[in-house]
Structure 1
Amino acid sequence: MLNNQTLEKLISMKLSAMGKEYRRQLESPDTVALRFEERLGMLVDAEWTSRNNSRLTKLLRLANLRIQGACLEDLDYDPRRKLDRAYVARLADCSWINEHRNLIITGLTGTGKTYLACAFGNSACRRGLKTKYYRVNRLLTDLAIGRGDGSYNRMMRELKKTDLLILDDWGMAILDPVSGRDLLEVVEDRFGYRSTVISGQLPVREWHGLFEDSTIADAVLDRLVHNSYRFELSGPSKRNPNEP
């Protein structure tokens, strides 16, 4: 009777994982020989692991990464890609995010830019950091719609609070002054407080030409480029099945 009451109390306190572990211990004769401290530790570990897993699942869902299974441990270090293993290892702990620095990934199509960006996003989520993935054109479209339906300010607040913002397919279209200003607002709100990953085909030296308004271009690039780490990927397209 006492055991059942304990289980009910654990569940009512929303300690369901601890309750499951407690029930398992009651049903397992092997745990009888364990000391109280050991059994208590197993209960706490079960709850801690469950909550961490739930938090990670939620962070990954909200991040909406384009490649859900991307992770740094599975990167392809083919020498043709010019992906420096030591450089990846240096950034793998995500300390650059805590330092509010940016990451720029450039290279030809199919060289793994999106995978690398999503792998760093996955790593950030595993460290409890709020992450969000956007294709640049989709972000600008959502902001334009938000200006019309009244959700613009809410979106901007959410973007400002996101620890790591991933902007993929950078440079796919020329930015008119309105789009440029929207992008500047996003970058300005995050500058010095949050980190951004930029992934695109164009090399950084050509970014200025993406903006119709050169003043906006100067402001955006000043906030993105100068405090960034960079990867410049190369090699054959990984999407081509005929490539070795």
Structure 2
Amino acid sequence: MINDETRRKLREMNLSEVVTALELQQQELSCVTLPFDERFQRITDYLYQEKYNSKIQRLIKLSKFRLPKAEVNDIYYCERGIDRNAIQELSTGQFIHSNTNIIFQGFTGSGKTFLACAIGRQACKQQIRTRYIRLPDLLVEHDEATLIVKSNAKLLKKYSSYGVLIIDEWLFEDISEDEQHFLFELIERRHDCTSTIFCTQYRKEDWHSRLGGGVHADAIMDRIVHNAIWIEAGKVNMREYCAKHRL
């Protein structure tokens, strides 16, 4: 057994996980008789898993998901018409490595946000920096940044740095010309470097007019739709479904 002084020194060096691992081993009679090398290997495996779990939880917290507990395994498929295989493929994270965008399209209440957060959570588990934000909130940040010198450049740098960026309520509200320019700059910086997930009620043919119908709309769409996976969110109102099954 390690003595109190050794415990103190380990904790002082921010190695409290080592103390926990040793104490867990001491509680297992089968570990006491193991060779030192094997015991040390088990401690190393324990510490690695603890550090990994801690990092994943930190990434999930920093992602600011609207639904932080959304899991791919909890996605409801029955009667929705969602392609289960497509969702499972997205959960592998391959789309991130190919810098592919994802577009979840469907009516309000169809579960777009849950799908996006579930995929985003999978990205966090693969240690990918991820961020969720509603487009109205992003544009508020942009409007505030325009009042401060160089703040808009910092905002673009911030949101272009995430490996996966989830933009919810995409094109939900009218967008000014200045906001169109901001979105173009953001999408341009992320194009072919990262992956962006869009949640929207609007079909592809409606995007151009929602983006102002001009050159900014052309440029934004050109950088999104040609390298995107489109997923229909399904035919079931998930808010209504969840409300009924919660009773």
TM over 0.5: yes
Correspondence list, 1:161-176, <5 A: 161-176=161-176
Correspondence list, 1:149-160, <5 A: 149-150=148-149, 151-160=151-160
Q: Quick one: which amino acid aligns to residue 106 of structure 2?
A: G
Q: Secondary structure at the match of 2:235?
A: coil
Offset from partner CA, 1:100-124 (integer Å, 9 cap, x none): 1100110111111111011111000
Q: Quick one: which amino acid aligns to residue 63 of structure 1?
A: S
Q: Secondary structure at the match of 1:240?
A: helix
Q: Name the % identity.
A: 30
Q: Is the 8 A contact 1:133 1:165 kept in 2?
A: yes
Q: CA deviation at 1:65?
A: 0.4
Query: Corresponding residue for 2:240?
Result: 240
Q: Is the 8 A contact 1:108 1:201 kept in 2?
A: yes
Q: Quick one: which amino acid aligns to residue 141 of structure 1?
A: V
Q: Secondary structure at the match of 2:169?
A: strand
Q: Quick one: which amino acid aligns to residue 143 of structure 1?
A: H
Q: CA deviation at 1:73?
A: 1.1
CA distance in 2, matches of 1:88, 1:174: 30
Offset from partner CA, 1:115-172 (integer Å, 9 cap, x none): 1011111000011000000101110111110121343222221112100000001121
Query: Corresponding residue for 2:140?
Result: 141
Q: Does 1:188 align with 2:184?
A: no
Query: Corresponding residue for 1:60?
Result: 60
Q: Which moved more, 1:213-222 or 1:32-41?
A: 32-41
Q: Secondary structure at the match of 2:88?
A: helix
Q: Quick one: which amino acid aligns to residue 42 of structure 1?
A: R
Alignment size in residue pairs: 243
Q: Quick one: which amino acid aligns to residue 240 of structure 1?
A: E
Query: Corresponding residue for 1:126?
Result: 125
Q: Is the 8 A contact 1:97 1:194 kept in 2?
A: yes
Q: Quick one: which amino acid aligns to residue 22 of structure 1?
A: L
Q: Quick one: which amino acid aligns to residue 178 of structure 1?
A: D
Q: Is the 8 A contact 2:171 2:211 kept in 1?
A: no
Q: CA deviation at 1:38?
A: 2.3
RMSD: 2.0
CA distance in 2, matches of 1:10, 1:37: 20
Q: Secondary structure at the match of 1:199?
A: strand
Q: CA deviation at 1:174?
A: 1.7
Q: CA deviation at 1:5?
A: 5.0
Q: Is the 8 A contact 1:236 1:243 kept in 2?
A: no
Q: Is the 8 A contact 1:165 1:196 kept in 2?
A: yes
CA distance in 1, matches of 2:200, 2:143: 22
Query: Corresponding residue for 2:18?
Result: 18
Offset from partner CA, 1:180-233 (integer Å, 9 cap, x none): 111111101111111100011111111001122510000001111110111012
Q: Quick one: which amino acid aligns to residue 212 of structure 2?
A: E
CA distance in 1, matches of 2:25, 2:159: 45
Q: CA deviation at 1:4?
A: 4.5
Say if 1:81 and 1:22 are closer, same or farther in 2 by CA, change over 3 A: same
Query: Corresponding residue for 1:89?
Result: 88
Q: Which moved more, 1:8-17 or 1:36-45?
A: 8-17
CA distance in 1, matches of 2:111, 2:27: 49
Q: Is the 8 A contact 1:7 1:23 kept in 2?
A: no
Q: Is the 8 A contact 1:7 1:22 kept in 2?
A: no
Query: Corresponding residue for 1:110?
Result: 109
Give me the TM-score of the superposition, normalised by structure 1: 0.92
Q: Secondary structure at the match of 2:68?
A: coil
Q: Secondary structure at the match of 2:131?
A: strand
